[in-house]
Structure 1
Amino acid sequence: MQKFTLTPLATALLLIGTSALGQSAPVPAAAASSPTSSDASRKPTAQLDAVTVTASKRSEAAHRLPYNVTAVSEQALRDANITDLKSLIKDSLTFEAPPNSARFTDSVSVRGLNVSSVSANNIEWFSRSTLSYYLDDAPLPNIGFRIKDIARVETLLGPQGTLYGGGALGGTVRYITNKPQLGVTEGRVSSSVFHTRGGSDLSTDTDAVMNLPLGRDLALRVAVARLDDQGYTDRYAGTPNYLTSAWQPKPNASQVLYKDDDWHRATTGRATLLWRVSPDLSLQLSHGQQSGTAHGSSGTQLLRVASSANGAAYRAGEALGPDTVLSPYPEFTDRDIRISTIDLDWRLPGWGQLHSSTSRYRDDRIGQADYLGTGSFFYGDLGYSRFRLGSSSWAGNTAYITYANRYSGTLHETRFVSDPGPLSWIAGFFAASQQRSQAFSEWMPGLEALKTPGRGATDEGYFEDQASRYRETALFGELSWKASDRLTLTAGARLFAYRDRTATQVEDYAFDLVTGVVKAEEKDSGQSYGKLNAAYQLTPDLLAYATFSQGFRRGGANGFRGAGSVAVADELKGYRADQTNNLELGIKGFLADRRLYLQANVYQIRWKDPQTYFSQDINGFPVWGTTNGPAALSQGLELQWRWKPMASIEISGGSTYTRGEWDATKEVCLYADGTECRTYAKGGKLGGNAPWKHALSVRWQGEFEGHQVWASAGARYVGVKNSDRGDDPADQPFQYKAYTTTRASVGLAKGDWDWSLWADNLSNNRELVSFQGTSAVATRVGLRAIYLTPRTLGLNVSYRF
């Protein structure tokens, strides 16, 4: 496990806070305020609350923004036990990702925009998200940062390339942190104790927040959190009775069974210093970091099958019992995330607001994974019979892989937001310098004696690294014209230039089929994406809108090699940026004296040059890469609503429908002579998204003997979905069955105390939602099936002071 250490900036912020504990300067009475008591914040009201968001780069009520935007408050996040992106996705009707273990980084998709396999994979560059992620105003390569001391989470659906740049093909997720409060001394300590059925021990999730005034115009906010998830899945490291070859369990040769091996530990910290330079100018420094280990994998080992056709591999019986995986080697991911930000806000009276944000981040993810089935296939069936499962010359060794994914970057954005008026506008500048390295190695103990001397590290059979250095500058803006009291027209654009230098290294140390580095450079200037919007205020609280918006994602290079004298086709040496064009019609706002909130829309997204996986075969050895498929089309509808039939009861629900498919036919050939081709045919279905999803929840709030009490219950339905794309209308990928999950919670608040009891997957539904392995694995050792997390019960306690 990696150690949790502080950078100089974080250390300085914490030292300032420590010195201020006994030296707070007096604060004017007008600036002082007491912390909001938890029971007061829960008192029911007769009307639904309006939510303010900053998704449009200015503070506005969510129901007045002419696109699908939602916000989940801090209290709602805590009540639903949402602490990370995976739990947010699990609770969402609009996002899709396989609910795999914390060890994996998943392909997150929205609105049907997915061409990746919906399964667990150790190799990170197989994951391709169609969402962009932000921590406040800082874009990040992934969201692994836990949701702690967060004011709200905003989700913007539909392409957001104009204001949010690359990666926002289908939308953007923003974590908005709580800011330091001037003149306020307050804090909170919260802890959650929970247990998952099948696990042996209780898990804990504890966090603390402190807000300290350091003077009239200075304040510090510090938040720390610690997760100790004890897990519930066992690892069997020995040889099961359905396999004849024997191997030595790792790391302890005398231990076969490891109980609750899928544990997760994470320590998170964030310190923010706010300085009000003048009434109109403020400066904020913040540093956040998180270190932890996600160990093992949830799942159940299935028996091997003679053929994985017709879904047999997914329906095979349990090999070792429920919630037990087969893995001779321990599996883990160590992750360290650090982000430092400087924000400046300058109010220019009569003009607007200037905001500048500069951030530096680093995200390292290193780990190890078992490679039992695939490793014996590559190093046994394809080359060395000594390593083949069941071989009489079996050496008792099995394969494993290691991986190291590193991201770092410096990002800057300056924007000016005008005051509201007949003409209002946003104008900004963005610059980014980012580095990426995604590497992994395959290891086979005993291989060194069989391979070419001096090639790679000892027993290393394969190495691959996809590295890049990316620079981008952009100008962006929006102009809104209030054409009448009811009608507002908006146009926006983003103009940018970029340079992407890539170096893909592939080294086949075992068979010497592939070696060397392929370098490429992609650059362009004058690229632009736009947005057009018309919003009509039907009533003061009800809005109708029509919008056209665009999103994009950067391209990259492949490591494909020529075959003898035949060169790789120019098109396959790299892959182009892909683009989405979205048409959307919607209505949103309050009805029935603000007792009913409705948000409904229909959309159609045309996806140009979608990036999808492609592989090269070299004498049976695969080299993985990416290509641009034909145009794709996604269309659907989204409905969300909240209703207060009385002050003490709120009922909410929603439904989404999406359908995605190839909208054209395209043949992609690997070599310049037109050989080794794949055809993507019009009508082939895009996988990974359930056509229908529904949700319904009921919440009651009341008072009992001076205590604020509440209870809630909810259900979520996810329809049948394909596990992968189909490249022809006749293709029938394996389908995950539809399922419904339920949850319930009750809570009590008195003064500054909050207590709540909660249960997830109340009915303990056990449905297959993901898997790990390939057809080769299925026929040799069996797939690893991943089911819904079993029933989990928890107790939350929170104290404010």
Structure 2
Amino acid sequence: MKFKKKTLSTVIGTTALMSSIGASAAGPELEELIVTATQRDSSIYEIPYNISAVSGEAVEAAGVADLSDISRVAPGIAFMDQGPRVVGNNYIILRGLNANTQSGAADVPLISAPAVSVYMGSVPIFSNFSMTDLARVEILRGPQGTLYGSGSLGGTLRFIPNQPALTETSADLTAEISSVDEGDDLSYNVSGIFNLPVSDQLAFRVVAGYRELAGFVDSVGLIDPDSNGYPTDNGDGSYRVKSKQKDSNKSDNWYLRTSALYEASDTLSFLLSYQHEDVDTKGRQAHSYDIGVDSTDKYVQRLAYEEPMTSETDLLSLDVEVDFGFAVLSSSTSVATQKAEWTRDATGLYDNAFYWYKTYYYPFATNVSYGESEDEKIVQEFRLASTGGETLDWVVGAFYMDQDFTVDEAQFIPGLTEHIASDPYTYALVTPTTDLVYAAEREVDYKDMAVFGELTTHISDEWQVTGGARFFKQEFDQSFVFHAPFCPSLYYQPATGTCGSDADGISTSTFLDEDVSDHILKFNTSYDITYETKVYMTVAEGFRHGGANAVPTAGPWPEEIGLYDTFDADEALNKEIGIKGKLFDARHSYTVSIFHIDWDKPQFDTFTQDFHFSSVVNGPDAVSKGFELELKGLIGERLSYSFGYNYTRSEWAEDGFVGRSPLKKGGTLPGIPKHMATFSTDYYLPVSMGEVVFHLNGFYRSDADTAPNESWENFKEIDSFSMFDASIGLETETWGAKIFIDNLTNEEGTTGGQTAEGYGQYAYNFLSRPRSIGLRFNYKIQ
């Protein structure tokens, strides 16, 4: 294919490695994919960074379908697995940089940027994209602020799709059917990949598919309402509930990715891409534990209201590359829109945090919340990279992003108005006219402008030194409006007998903005001890922008002035040493690294102390340090393997507070397993029809905490677990058939949840998907 390896879609600082069995005079050896980590052709072993990659072939062999599966095959990723029901919050953790609790209770998108940036191709965007037709998945660990900007404190995760091929017409059709333990229905997955070259300069590629996942969680306790939609009184202090609802967490999604590659000349190329993803889930992938009806059943969740969610993502991008000979100019332009709508059962929250509703006003103070969000993003990036020299290599660039984000949420207590009006013994001083108890509209505008560059000096053939910097200016503003039609008299007694002067009762509007200009630096050096052994050292900074919370400090629900107004940027300084290379006639490769990260002013996405408004606050400094090991290789002529191990210790470096919640020096950061490991192996057995492939992969994560310490109401220790996937398949030149078992030992795999202290009888754990057994069939046309 004519499209050059130094394309914009392979952003500076990324690499890939694809291992396969290749024949040579000396026997099989590791086959290397040429990479462009410095925007010029290089072997992965020449790149002086700790960067991992999982090839598209490995992603397919492991049956990776979405984001939930990535942590099983990519080493060192800690992830709160919520299944397909991901509204837009990025819970990916690399190198232990996470301060957020692992509760996932609120579907409202987080205010702060994530600690790990995620890219689809060359576009910075997080979504639960389908993993079909990927060239590779790249994992860049440690702060990547110089090249990837804000939100790359812990690292960067990149999904690189395959590009159109100019040389061949092809079609790749896949169909899959499977059953899941505890589920009554079957799951289906169909996809097609079509590549069509129109000429030796123009080609199109289309990827489309549909995936339907059977549910396995049963819902109990759902309200069986009366004709008005209100809870029905049983006459004994309880309300009538429906019978158990089977498989309430089923989901489906369809996706489309199209791209067109035009090679105008040997020096000019265009890549236009469009991607759409549509996800519809009926409920959470969660289980209520040790509470209520059927608490001994493994896959049962207690709910008052069903919790469906839908989301849509549209991504349009244009990559242009111009080769000037001495340097390559790359331009990436993208427009992305993400929309989501959800229903959330907040009854557990109202039972605990807002208990006064049930105590003073209404015995059946169940709560249902409806929300919607929209995130629009325009991104433009330019890079000019030298084509390589004996003495100096360099890259310079400019980045601009304009992001507009809105979220609306309304919470109702069905039957509240009718009950207060008919009950002469209620303590309410105000008679409400609506069951709406809270509504809010949040608007956020964020602009990021930056220039960046890196310069590499080759002191000798073995020794190089690289320095980099990023200079940026950021603007962040937020407006927040909330309505309180019914004000609890426990906190606010209106003088006039009403709750406000407008039609919605009392409304409070707040607006705050925050601007920052700053820079970060990077230093890297490496030395080739031998042709196949490299040692390196990196000192790099990463950062995440600050902002404004705009929570109310006046009116019926005021928060303390100065406690939640604005939040500062947090920064990470990474010091790392490592060694990488090949062994035993290049049949095995390894990477070993040790890192120490100082994290200043970590950001917490949390809720305000008194009235649970979404907000971000800074906590005390933290430190994360650890050890990483990766091995890949071939054993004999038919067996390949890969192994990854990560040890991470993340803790608070000093005493402090988040809002009014205490943190203690030496305490563990939430959601961080100390030990994580992944492995995979493939055995190839030639037969007359083609090749039989035996595959096994697995991963392990040690225990972790869901909150900073036991004084937090949503603190829980989640147990360690391991999971294994296996398959056996026959592959020929034109078709393949595979039998697979995911989660072979049927491990529960808890990764987060909400505790009884915070949610009472509606508490839950997020679970991994149970054992699934299925058949996959693939047919190729070339």
For normalisation by structure 1, the TM-score amounts to 0.85
State the distance in 2 between where 1:605 and 1:645 align: 36
Q: Any stretches of 5+ residues in structure 1 without a counterpart? A: 1-26, 29-39, 250-254, 306-316, 389-393, 671-676
CA offset digits 1:572-625 (Å, max 9, x no partner): 31101111110010111211111111011000001111102454444xx33342
Counterparts of 2:31 and 2:347 in 1: how far apart (Å)? 54
Other-structure match for 1:500: 476
Deviation of the 1:515 alpha carbon: 4.2
Determine the structure 1 residue equivalent to 2:763.
Answer: 783
Residue matched to 2:215: 231
Instruction: State how far apart, in whole Å, the 1-side matches of 2:764 and 2:598 are.
Output: 35
752-761 vs 43-52, which moves further? 43-52
Residues 59-70 of structure 1: matches in 2 within 5 Å? 59-70=41-52
The alpha carbon displacement at 1:233 in A equals: 1.6
Corresponding residue SS for 1:87: helix
Contact 1:265 1:294 in 2 (8 A): yes
Aligned to 1:374: 349
Instruction: Confirm or deny: 8 A CA contact 1:51 1:71 kept in the other structure.
Output: no
- Match for residue 474 of structure 1? 450
CA displacement, residues 683-729 of structure 1 (integer Å, 9 cap, x when unaligned): 2221211101223333211202242121122332211211211399x
Confirm or deny that 1:523 pairs with 2:515: yes
Residues 28-70 of structure 1: CA deviation (Å, up to 9, x unaligned): 9xxxxxxxxxxx9877761112234445444532222111111
Does 1:634 find its partner at 2:624? yes
Equivalent of residue 301 in structure 1, options 288, 306, 326? 288
Deviation at 1:126, TM superposition (A): 4.9
TM-aligned CA deviation for residue 491 of structure 1 = 0.5
- Is the Cα–Cα contact under 8 Å of residues 474 and 545 in structure 2 kept in the other structure? no
- Deviations 1:180-228, CA, capped at 9 Å, x for gaps: 1224211211122222111112211111111112234221111111111
Aligned-pair distance for 1:681?
3.1
User: Match for 1:646: what amino acid?
Assistant: G
The secondary structure found in structure 2 opposite 1:474 is strand
Q: Match for 1:418 among 380, 383, 386?
A: 386
Change (3 A) 1:131 1:574: same
Q: SS of the counterpart of 1:162?
A: helix
The residue number in structure 2 matching 1:589 is: 581
Match of 2:542 in 1: 551
Question: Which residue does 2:265 correspond to in 1?
Answer: 278
**CA, structure 1 residues 502+707, in 2 after alignment: closer, same or farther (shift >3 Å)?**
same
From 175, 194, 202, the counterpart of 1:191:
175
AA in 2 matched with 1:734: K
The one-letter code matched in structure 2 to 1:717 is Y
1:217 to 1:455, Cα distance in 2 relative to 1, 3 A? farther
- The reply on whether 1:756 has 2:738 as its aligned counterpart is yes
CA distance in 2, matches of 1:739, 1:459: 44
Q: Which residue of 1 aligns with 2:69?
A: 87
Task: Write the deviation string for residues 525-569 of structure 1: whole angstroms up to 9, x where unpaired.
Answer: 3x1111100011122232110001111111121234436999945
More divergent stretch after superposition (431-440 vs 768-777): 768-777
Aligned to 1:21: none
CA distance in 1, matches of 2:475, 2:119: 22
Structure 1 residues 469 and 455: alpha-carbon distance in aligned structure 2, compared to 1, 3 A threshold: farther
SS at match of 1:715: strand
Q: Distance in 1 between matches of 2:666 and 2:561?
A: 26
Query: Partners in 2 of 1:275 and 1:117 — Cα distance?
Result: 46
Change (3 A) 1:86 1:430: same
For residues 733-779 of structure 1, the C-alpha deviation after alignment (integer angstroms, 9 at most, x for no partner) is 4211222222221121111212222212211223543323551422x
- Residues 168-187 of structure 1 correspond to what in structure 2 (within 5 A)? 168-187=152-171
2:307 alignment counterpart? 331
Q: In 2, are the aligned partners of 1:264 and 1:293 still within 8 Å (CA)? A: yes
Q: What is aligned with 2:525? A: 534
Q: Distance in 2 between matches of 1:482 and 1:455?
A: 77
What is the aligned partner in structure 2 of residue 666 from structure 1?
656
CA drift at 1:150: 1.4
Provide closer, same or farther for how the CA distance between residues 499 and 746 of structure 1 changes in structure 2, counting only shifts above 3 A: same
Identity of aligned residues (%): 25
RMSD value, Cα: 3.1
> 2:135 aligned with 1:151, yes or no?
yes
The residue that corresponds to 1:447 in the other structure is 416
Q: Map of 1:604-623 to 2, 5 A cutoff? A: 604-613=596-605, 615-618=607-610, 621-623=611-613
Alignment of 1:643 onto 2:633: yes
In the alignment, structure 1 residue 263 sits paired with structure 2 residue 232 = no
Which secondary structure does the structure 2 equivalent of 1:516 belong to?
A: strand
Distance 2:234 2:572 in 1: 49
For 1:60 and 1:464, how far apart are their aligned partners in 2?
52
- Map 1:570-589 onto structure 2 (within 5 A): 570=562, 572-589=564-581
In the other structure, the counterpart of 1:721 is 704
In 2, distance between residues paired with 1:340 and 1:633? 39
The one of 124, 127, 135 equivalent to 1:139 is 124
Quote the offset at 1:287 in angstroms: 0.9
Q: Which residue of 2 aligns with 1:409?
A: 377
In structure 1, the residue corresponding to 2:30 is in which secondary structure?
coil
Q: Spell out, residue by residue over 1:281-320, the C-alpha distance to the aligned partner (whole angstroms, 9 max, x if none).
A: 0112111111120221223333439xxxxxxxxxxx9527
Distance change (3 Å), C-alpha of 1:447 and 1:60: farther
Could you report, residue by residue, the CA deviation over 1:89-117 in whole angstroms, capped at 9, with x for unpaired residues?
24333111222232134522111111111
Question: How far apart, in 2, do the equivalents of 1:590 and 1:723 lie?
Answer: 39
Q: Indicate the SS of the match to 1:75.
A: helix
Aligned partners of 1:98 and 1:106 also within 8 Å: no
Distance verdict in 2 for CA 1:733–1:454, change over 3 Å: closer
Report whether the alignment pairs 1:206 with 2:197. no
Letter in 1 for 2:520: Y
Structure 2 unmatched ranges of 5 or more: 3-18, 225-232, 422-427, 493-505
Deviation at 1:640, TM superposition (A): 0.8
Deviation at 1:75, TM superposition (A): 1.3
The Cα offsets for residues 160-185 of structure 1, whole Å up to 9 and x where unpaired, read as 00001110011111111111122421
Is 1:50–1:63's contact at 8 Å kept on the other side of the alignment? no
What's the CA shift for 1:455? 12
Query: Aligned to 1:705, which of 665, 688, 695?
Result: 688
Give 1:314's aligned residue: none
Q: Following superposition of structure 1 onto structure 2, how do residues 5-20 of structure 1 map, counting pairs within 5 Å?
A: none
Report the TM-score when normalising by structure 2.
0.87
SS in 1 for 2:264: strand
- Give the paired residue count: 726
Deviation at 1:257, TM superposition (A): 3.0
* C-alpha spacing 1:700/1:238, structure 2 compared with 1 (3 Å): same
Distance 1:183 1:563, change over 3 A: closer
Change (3 A) 1:335 1:125: closer
Give secondary structure in 1 for the equivalent of 2:612.
strand
